[in-house]
Structure formats: C-alpha cells, structure tokens
Structure 1
Amino acid sequence: MMLAVLNFKNLVDFEEQLQFLDDLSHADVQVDLKISPTLPVPNDFENFEIISQNLTIKERTVGEISPSVLHHLNISTSFIGHLERRKSLNEGLLIVRKRLENALENDIKPIISVGQYSNLELVTEELDILLKDQPITKPIIIAYESLASTEMGRALYSIDEIRDVHNKIREFMTTHYPAIDYQLILGGHMDEVGSPIANAIGYDGVLIGDRYHTLASFQPVLNVLNNLSR
C-alpha cells in the first residue's frame, strides 16, 4: 500500500485543519495516510493516522512536544528534524540525532528527513550521522525532500535526480544498515503528477506539504494515491 504523509505546518488556519480532518474521516481512503496537524490532536480516526510535526530532546526544554503527550493522544509516529525546521531554526544534525534517540527510547516511529544538501554523498552522510550506533529494532521512515522545490512551490528536480537519490539511499541502507526495516518517501512539491512518478521509481510513498487546505483541493491527489494503492 502506498504511504502518504501530509504535513500542515504552521501557517494553515487550525480550524481549517480540523475541518479537513473531519471531512477526510468520511472519505474513501485506500492509501496508508498519515497527517500531521500543527497541534497534535487525538489519533482516533479510522481511515488515517494522526502524527506529530516534532518531538523534543530528552533534556528539559520549553514549548516542545514530549513522548508523554504523544502517548496520551495515542500518537506513535513523529517527524524528526523536518528539513524546513532545520533550515529556519538552524537545527543541526546532532540535535536531530538527540530527537531520534528520544523517539526510539519511547517507542515513537520516526520520520527522518534528509536532503538539506543536493549532493548525493551529503545525503547519505546525513543519514549516517543520524543512524550510526542507534538501537533501531523497529520500522522507520526516511523522507528525502527536495528542499528547493518545497520552498519555491514547484518541482525543481528532474526525474533522473530523484531516481539517483532513490538508488543511492537504497544502496547505502543495504550496504551499511541492512538490518533496519524502513520505508523511503519523496517530498518536494508532490501532487497528483509527482506521486505516480515517485511510485514508478520505487519510492514507498510521498511527503505532501501544506498546499491543500480542504478535502476538495486534496481530492485529486487522494484519487491518484488510492489508485496507486490498489
């Protein structure tokens, strides 16, 4: 089944997000759909999963989401170091690694974001810094995102580029971390056109940003994702 992760980020009106979730709860969803509202809400929907945009480090902090909050809301998946957060807040890989450690210790499935740099060697270097010596015994999600495409609001990558990234990450994981069970998803202006391309290349799913604020606007993408999952 195709995996799709929809992230509302922080500029979408929260009431609009709640309406979207309610409308989607009555829709035909054949894809493994995970949705990340700005503020976590209880994960009690039947046809999609609520996930978290972020998770704190283990040390005491202020204004971040703890594993305890996520467990209370029945949320078991969280982004760890989303690329836009890393860029806008200057969040380095060592901080992201601490977030990952906290997720693993508290049975939170991480969505690990990579792609801050377009160089293929740097992509796998990011992964290696995050994964090395981590006690990963359960499935994880790796999200490669074309950061420039996300920021500019249009697909700036070529098919050859995202195929090369796919192949490089697959080869790296097979060679260096063969025991890790993972899904690889593609982000960066994903829509009803980009999703089938990602699927054909071999990605397990797609990461979709905050362009879709209503079920009506998202429906064409959902229709394509449902067809890909059949």
Structure 2
Amino acid sequence: MSQSFHRVPFVLANWKINKLQGEVKDFIEKVNDKVPAADVVETGIAAQDIFLADMIRETAQSPVQVVAENVHWEDSGAFTGETSPRALADIGVNYVLIGHFERRKFFNETDSTVNLKVTAALRNGLKPIIDIDEDMSAYAQFMDAEPAVAQVAAALAGVSVDQIRNITIAYEPTWAIGSGEAASAEQAQKAAHLIRQTLAHLYSPSISEKVRILYGGSVNPDNASEIMSQPDIDGVLVGKAALDPDQFLKLAQIAKG
C-alpha cells in the first residue's frame, strides 16, 4: 500500500432483498466467529430492514457490522414505507448504504436526495457508505489537476471535515454490477484515485488519505486480491458472491492479506 495513513480494509456484503429469516440466521452462525478482528479487517452485511434487529443481536459478540441498505432523510413523520435514521441508530445500526445504483435506477434517487440522506445519517450518528456509479472517463484528463467527480461532490455537500472521517465511498461501475465481469484492477484504481483526488480537492490531501474507498461490481474471491492490492482501494462491496458464507469468509481473508 502506498498510502501514508493506514486504512483498515472493509469487506461489505450487499444482500439486497435476498435471503429469508432462516437463511440469515444460518449465515451469521457460520461467519460470526471466523471473520478477522475489526482492527485488521472490518466486515459488514447490508440486509433488508426486517432482519436488522435480529442480526444485531446475533452479532453482538462478533466483529461483523450490520448495515442498513437505505434510509430516509427525515427522522420521523408521515413517510409510509420509509425507514427513519433515528430508528436505525436506536436499534444499534452503525453503517448505512446510500445512493446505490439500484436505488437511483429503480427508485429515482438523485444526487440531491443522496445528499439529504447522507446529512440525515450523520445527524443521527450513522456512518454513510456512499455508492458512486458515475462514468469516470470524462475526468481522465484531470488526473493531475483538480477533479471534482460530480456524484462525490454532490453527496458531500455540507459535510464537514469532522464528518468526512465517518464516510466510506464505494465505487461500482454500472456495467459491472451483476454482469459477472468486474473492472480490471487498473480501471478500478484509476476511478478510486479520481475519487481520492476529489476528496483532496474538497477537503485536503491529508483528509483524503483517511477516507476508505471500496470497489464493487462482480467481485469474487478470484479477482478480489488484485483489486484490493491497489493503493487507493481499501476493500470491496460484494453482491452475489457474498450470499455464500464460505466466499464471504474467503474475501475477508484476502483482505487480511
């Protein structure tokens, strides 16, 4: 790793709306005491809201973090079907995934609503994992200048220097999600580098070194090692492969190095 500041790797499973209650319990039992210590590799599972409270109880003695897949931007009110950030914090959720490509595509989320959710999460002590799916090719010419990757800048509007320390950025190129074809390690690194340059431009180079950047999109144990060896990539956001407990544990061990 070339970074001067040590960033703990993060392996995050995104289950989406897969798994039933019994399957969730079985998975947790299989990984609970086998994942690395949290100061070596942080592991997390993003699951449907209906499972979160049980998962928090079942991982109470485990390093595994339970992650919400979405959150509303108001703490309470008449928003049927939404989930309050205050309620998530109240049951013990620490992390929340915000702005996933599928939320943008199927539920019309915008840069503006992503920013509202980031602000609401931070207000309630939750740590946002902000998903970015923007095409980075337009920024290639600014690699050594002062880039501002649009989705990153929009999501972080109004986020303070103190707050940015609690944020993780996950880059998932749209074409790679669920396709079985991940970006090459070089492509993933270039995108992560642009994101880190954007953070340096918005805050400072030293602050940018403290923010974790994950890669997502058809990650599996066969390609994870090369991807996570890149200097600006600090872990992976994993969909299909992380539905299997053995593969999830393999990914955690790869991150451990």
TM-score by length of 2: 0.79
Deviation at 1:26, TM superposition (A): 2.8
8 Å Cα contact 1:16/1:213 also seen in 2: no
Percent of pairs with identical residues: 22
Deviation at 1:154, TM superposition (A): 2.5
Q: 209-218 or 180-189, which moves further after superposition?
A: 209-218
8 Å Cα contact 1:190/1:206 also seen in 2: yes
Instruction: Map residues 192-207 of structure 1 onto 2, 5 A cutoff.
Output: 192-202=221-231, 203-207=233-237
The alignment partner of 1:152 has SS state of coil
Unaligned runs of 5+ in 1: none
Deviation at 1:118, TM superposition (A): 4.5
Match of 1:32 among 22, 29, 42: 42
TM-score by length of 1: 0.88
Residues 62-110 of structure 1 deviation map (CA, whole Å, 9 limit, x = unaligned): 2122122212221121011112211121211111111111112111110
RMSD after superposition? 2.2
Deviation at 1:29, TM superposition (A): 2.5
Match of 2:117 among 82, 86, 99: 99
Which 4+ residue blocks in structure 1 deviate beyond 6 angstroms?
none
Q: Distance in 2 between matches of 1:107 and 1:120?
A: 34
Amino acid at match of 2:23: E
- Aligned in 2, Cα 1:55/1:24: closer, same or farther, shift over 3 Å? same
8 Å Cα contact 1:17/1:213 also seen in 2: no
The alignment partner of 1:133 has SS state of coil
Residues 11-46 of structure 1 deviation map (CA, whole Å, 9 limit, x = unaligned): 333421221012211324342101112222353242
8 Å Cα contact 2:35/2:43 also seen in 1: no
> Match for residue 129 of structure 2?
111
The alignment partner of 1:84 has SS state of helix
8 Å Cα contact 1:34/1:50 also seen in 2: yes
8 Å Cα contact 1:12/1:210 also seen in 2: no
Unaligned runs of 5+ in 2: 1-7, 140-146
Instruction: Map residues 71-110 of structure 1 onto 2, 5 A cutoff.
Output: 71-110=89-128
Q: Distance in 1 between matches of 2:168 and 2:159?
A: 15
Amino acid at match of 2:129: I
Amino acid at match of 2:172: E
> Match for residue 24 of structure 2?
17
- Tell whether 2:193 aligns with 1:167: yes
Instruction: Map residues 116-131 of structure 1 onto 2, 5 A cutoff.
Output: 116-121=134-139, 124-131=149-156
Amino acid at match of 1:160: E
Residues 148-167 of structure 1 deviation map (CA, whole Å, 9 limit, x = unaligned): 11131332x23332121122
Q: Distance in 1 between matches of 2:21 and 2:148?
A: 33
Q: 186-195 or 36-45, which moves further after superposition?
A: 36-45
Q: Distance in 2 between matches of 1:4 and 1:48?
A: 10
- Aligned in 2, Cα 1:16/1:136: closer, same or farther, shift over 3 Å? farther
Aligned length, in residue pairs: 226
Q: 70-79 or 217-226, which moves further after superposition?
A: 217-226
Instruction: Map residues 211-226 of structure 1 onto 2, 5 A cutoff.
Output: 211-226=241-256
The alignment partner of 1:160 has SS state of helix
> Match for residue 4 of structure 1?
11
